[in-house]
Amino acid sequence: MKLKKKSLDDLFNIKNKICIISGGSGGIGSNLANLISYNGGKVCVIDKDIKKNKLNRNIDYYKCDLSNEHKIKLVVKKIINKYKKIDCLVNAVGISNENSFIDNININLIAVYNFTKIIIDKMKKNGGSIVNITSLNSELGFSSNPGYVSSKGGLKMLTKSFCIDYSKYNIRINNIGPGYIKTNMTKKKFQKSKDRKLRIERIPMGRYGEPEELFGPVLFLLTDASSYVTGQDFYVDGGFLAKGI
């Protein structure tokens, strides 16, 4: 095979790629939206609750409940009419409801499944890359929230199933599993010194991660740098999964 010479700028080039981020107003999603946009990507945020970044006017925002399939199709149609294609999808949408098993399943798994199928249909012609934000809960059992653990474990395997079905269309699908990242979802336990200490003692790097620390792995998976990577799990967890006793 003839060696193709590419610079790092070519390999990691996100410029002018049309990137949809579901849950793009959340702690992880909003940071990814801003960083992709700052590096030249055309970002479309879809979320139930929109929180616009007033300092970044280069992001399109679409207020829509991901579980409303009819409205989602209308939003995607608007994006296609404007940009003519979709190159990338990051599913950062997610809830953690300890009081409702089914709410976690409906949003974190079923809604993501339905939404991703709609996007895949628009990607088939030109290919694309999809990143699902899973969790440490995709690999390990945690107490008191079986719905969240089950939904993220299901999402992990959904990615692997999709990668088999849609690789023939040059669509790559991978997972990023965050560890303990400073977001509104983790704020409650982070603020409690006992809970925070328990978790930090389990993390070899000795700290919670920042949302922007997910950008490097996500950028890798959305660009040509990962052109032969699909169906994989990448954990950004400060070493949490590596630690035994």
Which residues are known catalytic residues? 148
Residue 47 · residue 24 · CB < 8 Å: yes
Burial 13-34 (b: 16+ CB within 10 A, else e): bbeebbbbbbbbbbbbbbbbbb
Residues in the chain: 245
List of residues 6+ apart from 125 with CB closer than 8 A = 85
Total Cβ atoms within 10 A of residue 121: 13
* Residue 108 main-chain phi, psi, to 5 deg: -75, -20
Report the distance separating Cα 140 and Cα 153, nearest Å: 9
Report the distance separating Cα 72 and Cα 55, nearest Å: 27
